[in-house]
A and B are shown apart, each in its own frame.
Chain A
C-alpha cells in the first residue's frame, strides 16, 4: 500500500509498531492484530502542532488506515454543524458536544470486517431525552425526523432493521399527544423510549442498557427518572448542562464497552474503536477531552482510542500538566503512565517539521511525470524555505509541478510562490503564497500580520501598528496578536515578531505585492528605518537591514566596511548575517523600483562585475570597500530562501571570506572558518552561522532571525 504521509512513520509504522497500531491494536490498512502498548489503560493522545504541520492529514490518514477494520469516527470541531446551532433546534436542547456525540456514534456504528453494527442504546435514550426538551412547539414531522436519526444509533443488525422507523412514529405520536394534552412531554417521550428498549423483541443488551440511567444521581434506581433529570440538567445550561453532557459522553463509552464485552465480541472484533477529533482546541473537542479525561481519572475506564489534534502546543488548562512527547520519541513506546490528575491521562504528542529527506520524497512524489525536470537544488531549497512545514512543501511542490514549465529558466525559486496555483480543477488559480497564507495564518488578522511581519519585537511592532495600521489596532492588540501566535504554535523567536521564518517570508511577500508600486512595502520599511534611527550598533543593524530591504545597500556596505576593524569579528559576522537576511523580492534600482534588466543584480555585484563602475568613497580602503560590498551581496543572495543556491557564488563567497581572513587586523581564524562553513551550509540549505555560535539557536525554522 502506498504511504500517503511522509515523515510520520513513528505513528503508522508496522515494524516496529508505531503509536497508532500500539494504541488501536490493529496494523494500519490491514485487518491484523497488533500488540497493545497500554492493554489496561490507554492515554488520550492529543497531537499538537501549528498550522500546516499536518494534523488533519494525519487524522485523515488514520481514518483511512482503520476504516472498515475497526469502528472509526472523525469529527472536525470547526465543522459548521458543531459551531452553529440549527435554526430548528432551540438552544436549550442542543449543544455542540451533544451534536458531536451523535455524529461520532453514527460513524462508529458502521459495520466493520467480521462484526456487525454497534448499537448505542444508552446514548440514544440520553440524546432523545435531551432533544425532547426542545420539542415544546415542534411539529410532528420534525420530531419524527430527529427521533429517527437518534434511533438509528440503536440499529445493531439486519434482522433488527425497521426498529427506528417503527419507534420514531410511536415516540413522535406520544410527544404530540403529550403536547396537546399538556402532559409532561419529556416524560412521555422517555417512557416511550424505555418501552422500546424493554419490549419483548429487544435483546439482552438492550434490556441491560435500559437500566443504565438508574445510576444517574438522584434517580432513585429508576431509569426513567434518571433520563428525566438528564434532560432537565441539560436544559438548565451552565454547569448543570456540563454535568448532563458528561453523562452523555459516559453513555457513549458505556455503549462501546458493552459492544466489546462478551465472548462473541472477543471472537469477532479486533483492536479498539478509534475516535479522531480534529481542531479539538475549540468546542466541542475541548469539552470532550475534558469529560473523557475526567472520567478516566475518576475510574470510569473505557477502551476507546482517542486521538485528538489541537492547534498550538496544547496550552489549554485541561492539558496543562499532561505528558509531552515529540512524535519521534513515541516511535517505539510512549513511556506514558497515568497519574491521579485528569490531565495526566492525556499524552500530548507534538508533530515535528519534516526532514529534508521527507521533503525530497514529497517533491519527487508530486513532481513525478512533469515535462520539465525538477532542478536538483529545488528539494533542499524547498526545505530551507518551508522549514519542513508539510503544507508548505506540498504546495511549493505542487506549484513547481504546475508552473515550472512556464517559468523562464532564469526565474528565481521565489517565482514558484508568486505563480498561480490551482488546487482544484474547478477553481481559478491564485498565487501560491496566498493559498499558503490562507491556511497558515489566522484569516481575521492577515492584514495586520502582513504589516507586523517586518517587525522585530513588541516595540517595533507597536511603532509599525501606529504608523501603518488602523487606529483601533493599538498596543494591546499587538500584545494580543503576539499571544495568539504563540498559542497557535508559532515559535516565539527573539528579534522577530513572527517567529516562524516560513510564515514571515510569506507575509513579507504579501506585503511586497500589496500594491503594484510596492508603496506599502516601502512605507513599512521606512517606518522601521525611522524607528531604528540612532548611532548605537544594536539599532544600526536593524536600520541597515530595512534599508537593504528597500534596496539601499550603500549604508550597509559603509557600516560593515567601517566596523570591520573596530568591531569584534564575531559580532561583525553576526551583523553581516543579520543585515543580509533582509528580504529581497525583486531587483530594485537605486530608487527602490523594479529593475528592468533581470534578477541577477546581487550575483553580478557579488562576482565583481560592477566593481569597475563603483567608486569607493574617498579616504576609505577601496579594496576592503569593494570586498565588503561583494561579500554582502553574496551572503544576501545565498541566504535568500527564495533563490536557489548557486555553486559558483558559493565559491566566490569562500574566496572573499578567505581574503578577508588574510587581513592581519581581523580575527583570521573565525573568518577562515566562516569561509569554509558558509558556502557548504548555503549549498545544503542550512542557515549559515557565526562559527562557534552554535548554541544561540539550533532551530532550522529561525535561521533568518538575525541572531541576538
Chain B
C-alpha cells in the first residue's frame, strides 16, 4: 500500500478525528509543534497585515504629505520628488529633488526654505503661476547653491501645499513649524502667490510663530506691513518681506505712467472685494478724488475664478460707460482677472464702438495672457488693457534706466534658463531641465528674485562659523536689505526693503495685453515717479 502524508491523520480517526490529530499528531511532537507555531504566527501576521491593508485608509500621499479627513487634497510639506499629481510640475519638482539630494548626500549642513503654493490647484491659470514660481525658485536655489564664491549655507527647497484653495493652511503651517525644530532647519517660507484670505491667515500664523515669510507675487496692501496696511499695528506680519510692490505702489506707478486725470476716468471695482482688489480700489480712489462719476461696483462669487453672474453686471456697466461724457477714456479696474476678462469681452460689444477706452488695472491681469475665453476682437477695436506687471523679460533691454535695475541682472537669469535647455553637456555643472519656460507673466522672474531675497536674508543672518541662522535673525534681516551693497539686484529690478519689508520704489513694468494674448512691454513705471537713487535707501 502506498504510504501517504495523510496516514498520520487516519491513525487518529478513532480517537476524535481532526482534534485528536492536532493534539497528538502535531502538538505532541515538538518539531511539528514548533513548525505549526511558526506557520500559525506567519498566518496570523499575514492575516493581520491583509486585514489592516484591506481596511486601513491610507491617508498619506507621500512623505510629509497627507490627505486630511474628508478631503482628497494632498496637503503638507513634501521633501521628495512627489509632484502632487500634477504632470506639469513633475519635471521641475524632480530637478528640485535632485538638487536637494545632492545637499543631503553631501557632508555640509543646509538650511531649508519652504515654497508655499497651492500645488494641487485645479485652476489652470493658477497652476501655470505655480509652475513658473516653482521654476524661478529652483533656478534661484541652483544659482545660490552653485555660486562660485561658495557662500553658505546651501539651500534646500521643500514644497508646502495648503490645498487647492488654501483651506488646509493650518495643517501645513504646523508642519512647517515642526520642520523649524528638526534637522530640516527650515528658516523661511517663500511663495504665497495670491493675496487670498486663507493666505493672509497663513502668513499671519507663520509670522506669529516667528517664521520669516517672503511673499513672491502678493501685492495686496492688506497682506503687508506698514502704516498703509490698516489701522492699529503697523506690523501685523512681523518677519514678512515681499519681492513685489504693494498694490498702492503699483497704482501709484500706474498713475505716474498714465497721468490719469480724475475727470477722464471712471472706477469699476469688486464689491466686497478681496485684499488685492480692495487695495487696488483704494489706490485708484485716491487718483480719482473729485471725479464726476461714482465708482461702479460688481459682485462676483467668493471664488473669483468662477464665472458667476458678473457678466450681466458688466453689460450694464458697459452701457453706463457709453453714457459718460466723451472725454472719459480711462477705466480703472479694481478686480480679479476672470471678472476683467468678462468686462473686456462685454466692452467688445459696446454700443459706442467709436469711443476708445484704456483699461488700467493691477498685475492680476497677467493671467489673461493664458485665458482662451478672452475675446481678442475687443482689443482690436478701441479697447486697450494696460496693467502693472510684476516683471517682464523685456523690461531691461530697451533703454533701461540707469538705476533701479539692470540688463546685466536680467541677463543672469536668461543665462541660467539657457543652461537648463542646453543640449550638449559641455558644462557639467548646470541646472536640470525644468520644462517649458514662459517669462511673460513675470511669475518666474519675480519668484526667482523672491527666492534670492530669501537666501540673502538667511545668509546675512547666519553668524560666521555657524551653518544656520536663528529664525528671529532671519526675520530681523529684512530691514537691512537696502543700500548699494545690501540690496538684491533682482532680474525684475532692485529690491531694497523698507522697514516694513516692502520693496521701495520697485520697478513696475507697464504692459499691454495684445489681441494675440501676449503682454507687450510698454515701459517701466516707478511708484515714486522716477527710479530710485543709486544708494537705494528709502527716505524716512
The reply to whether chain A is a binding partner of chain B is yes
Q: Is B31 in contact with A268, judged by CB distance below 8 angstroms?
A: yes
Distance of A12 from chain B, by nearest CB (Å): 15
CA distance A488 to B29 in the complex (A): 43
Residues of A within 8 A of B23 (CB): 32
Q: Is B28 in contact with A33, judged by CB distance below 8 angstroms?
A: yes
Q: What is the chain B residue whose CB lies nearest that of A26?
A: B28
Q: Is A113 in contact with B25, judged by CB distance below 8 angstroms?
A: yes
Q: Is B11 in contact with A113, judged by CB distance below 8 angstroms?
A: yes
Which parts of B1-52 form the interface with A (CB within 8 Å)? Answer: 3, 8, 11-12, 14-15, 20, 23-25, 28-32, 34
CA distance A111 to B3 in the complex (A): 10
Which parts of A671-693 form the interface with B (CB within 8 Å)? Answer: none
Say whether A68 faces chain B, with CB atoms less than 8 Å apart: yes
Given A1-B14, A29-B15, A113-B11, A267-B29 contact (CB < 8 Å): yes
Name the residue in A114, A264, A267, A270 with the highest tally of chain B Cβ atoms < 10 Å from its Cβ.
Answer: A114
Residues of A within 8 A of B28 (CB): 31-33, 114, 270
Say whether A593 faces chain B, with CB atoms less than 8 Å apart: no
Q: Is B30 in contact with A267, judged by CB distance below 8 angstroms?
A: yes
Given A68-B11, A113-B11, A32-B31 contact (CB < 8 Å): no
Say whether A484 faces chain B, with CB atoms less than 8 Å apart: no
Given A31-B28, A33-B28, A113-B29, A267-B11 contact (CB < 8 Å): no
Inter-chain CB contacts under 8 Å: number: 40
Distance of B426 from chain A, by nearest CB (Å): 66
Q: Is A114 in contact with B11, judged by CB distance below 8 angstroms?
A: no
Some 24 contacts from A to B, beta carbons below 8 A apart, are: A1-B14, A1-B15, A30-B20, A30-B24, A31-B28, A31-B29, A32-B24, A32-B28, A33-B28, A68-B11, A111-B3, A113-B8, A113-B29, A114-B25, A114-B28, A114-B29, A114-B31, A115-B29, A264-B31, A267-B29, A267-B31, A268-B30, A268-B31, A270-B28
Distance of A35 from chain B, by nearest CB (Å): 14
Say what secondary structure dominates the interface of chain A.
loop
Residues of B within 8 A of A268 (CB): 29-31
Residues of A within 8 A of B11 (CB): 68, 113
B: residues with CB less than 8 A from A are 3, 8, 11-12, 14-15, 20, 23-25, 28-32, 34
Say whether A266 faces chain B, with CB atoms less than 8 Å apart: yes
Distance of A271 from chain B, by nearest CB (Å): 10
Which of A1, A33, A267 lies in contact with B34, CB distance below 8 A? A267
Q: What is the chain B residue whose CB lies nearest that of A115?
A: B29
Residues of B within 8 A of A1 (CB): 14-15
Residues of A within 8 A of B3 (CB): 111
Q: Is A31 in contact with B31, judged by CB distance below 8 angstroms?
A: no
Residues of B within 8 A of A111 (CB): 3
CA distance A405 to B259 in the complex (A): 140
In addition to A30-B24, A31-B25, A264-B31, 20 A-B residue pairs with Cβ atoms within 8 Å of each other are: A1-B14, A1-B15, A29-B15, A30-B15, A31-B24, A31-B28, A32-B23, A32-B24, A113-B24, A113-B25, A113-B29, A114-B28, A115-B29, A267-B29, A267-B31, A267-B34, A268-B29, A268-B30, A270-B28, A270-B29
Given A1-B15, A68-B11, A266-B30 contact (CB < 8 Å): yes
CA distance A114 to B8 in the complex (A): 8
Residues of A within 8 A of B12 (CB): 31
Distance of A181 from chain B, by nearest CB (Å): 42
Residues of A within 8 A of B8 (CB): 113-114
Closest 9 CB pairs of A and B: A31-B24, A267-B31, A114-B29, A267-B30, A31-B28, A268-B31, A68-B11, A32-B28, A113-B8
Residues of A within 8 A of B29 (CB): 31, 113-115, 267-268, 270
CA distance A214 to B32 in the complex (A): 37
Distance of B195 from chain A, by nearest CB (Å): 75
Q: What is the chain B residue whose CB lies nearest that of A114?
A: B29
CA distance A115 to B31 in the complex (A): 10
Q: What is the chain A residue whose CB lies nearest that of B25?
A: A113
Which parts of A110-125 form the interface with B (CB within 8 Å)? Answer: 111, 113-115
Bits for A75-112, please: 1 = Cβ < 8 Å to B, else 0.
00000000000000000000000000000000000010
Distance of A442 from chain B, by nearest CB (Å): 39
CA distance A34 to B12 in the complex (A): 18
Distance of A27 from chain B, by nearest CB (Å): 9
Chain A residues within 8 Å of chain B by Cβ, number? 16
Residues of A within 8 A of B24 (CB): 30-32, 113
Distance of A111 from chain B, by nearest CB (Å): 8
Name the residue in A113, A115, A266 with the highest tally of chain B Cβ atoms < 10 Å from its Cβ.
Answer: A113
Residues of B within 8 A of A267 (CB): 29-31, 34
Distance of B28 from chain A, by nearest CB (Å): 5
CA distance A182 to B510 in the complex (A): 123
Residues of B within 8 A of A114 (CB): 8, 25, 28-29, 31-32
Q: What is the chain B residue whose CB lies nearest that of A270?
A: B28
Q: What is the chain A residue whose CB lies nearest that of B8?
A: A113
CA distance A266 to B29 in the complex (A): 9
CA distance A703 to B530 in the complex (A): 146
Residues of B within 8 A of A115 (CB): 29
Which parts of A251-301 form the interface with B (CB within 8 Å)? Answer: 264, 266-268, 270
Which parts of A688-702 form the interface with B (CB within 8 Å)? Answer: none
Distance of B32 from chain A, by nearest CB (Å): 6
CA distance A115 to B30 in the complex (A): 11
CA distance A68 to B24 in the complex (A): 12
Residues of A within 8 A of B14 (CB): 1
Which parts of A1-22 form the interface with B (CB within 8 Å)? Answer: 1
Q: What is the chain A residue whose CB lies nearest that of B26?
A: A114
Bits for A21-49, please: 1 = Cβ < 8 Å to B, else 0.
00000000111110000000000000000
Distance of B365 from chain A, by nearest CB (Å): 83
CA distance A433 to B422 in the complex (A): 119
CA distance A706 to B280 in the complex (A): 141
Which parts of A231-269 form the interface with B (CB within 8 Å)? Answer: 264, 266-268
Distance of A28 from chain B, by nearest CB (Å): 11
CA distance A422 to B170 in the complex (A): 99
Residues of A within 8 A of B30 (CB): 266-268
CA distance A46 to B31 in the complex (A): 34
Q: What is the chain B residue whose CB lies nearest that of A264?
A: B31
Residues of B within 8 A of A33 (CB): 28
Q: What is the chain A residue whose CB lies nearest that of B3?
A: A111
Distance of B314 from chain A, by nearest CB (Å): 89
Q: What is the chain A residue whose CB lies nearest that of B11?
A: A68
CA distance A367 to B170 in the complex (A): 91
Residues of A within 8 A of B34 (CB): 267
CA distance A115 to B25 in the complex (A): 11
Residues of B within 8 A of A270 (CB): 28-29
Residues of A within 8 A of B25 (CB): 31, 113-114
Distance of A159 from chain B, by nearest CB (Å): 14
Residues of B within 8 A of A68 (CB): 11
Name the residue in B20, B23, B29, B34 with the highest tally of chain A Cβ atoms < 10 Å from its Cβ.
Answer: B29
Distance of A115 from chain B, by nearest CB (Å): 8
Q: What is the chain A residue whose CB lies nearest that of B24?
A: A31
Distance of B483 from chain A, by nearest CB (Å): 83
CA distance A652 to B373 in the complex (A): 134
Distance of B12 from chain A, by nearest CB (Å): 8
Which parts of A353-375 form the interface with B (CB within 8 Å)? Answer: none
Q: What is the chain B residue whose CB lies nearest that of A30?
A: B24
CA distance A617 to B20 in the complex (A): 79
CA distance A264 to B35 in the complex (A): 13
CA distance A1 to B15 in the complex (A): 7
CA distance A604 to B479 in the complex (A): 144
Distance of A552 from chain B, by nearest CB (Å): 60
CA distance A114 to B32 in the complex (A): 7
CA distance A32 to B20 in the complex (A): 10
Q: What is the chain B residue whose CB lies nearest that of A32?
A: B28
Q: What is the chain B residue whose CB lies nearest that of A158?
A: B3
Residues of B within 8 A of A32 (CB): 23-24, 28
Bits for A643-668, please: 1 = Cβ < 8 Å to B, else 0.
00000000000000000000000000
CA distance A451 to B433 in the complex (A): 124
Which parts of A571-624 form the interface with B (CB within 8 Å)? Answer: none
CA distance A1 to B11 in the complex (A): 13
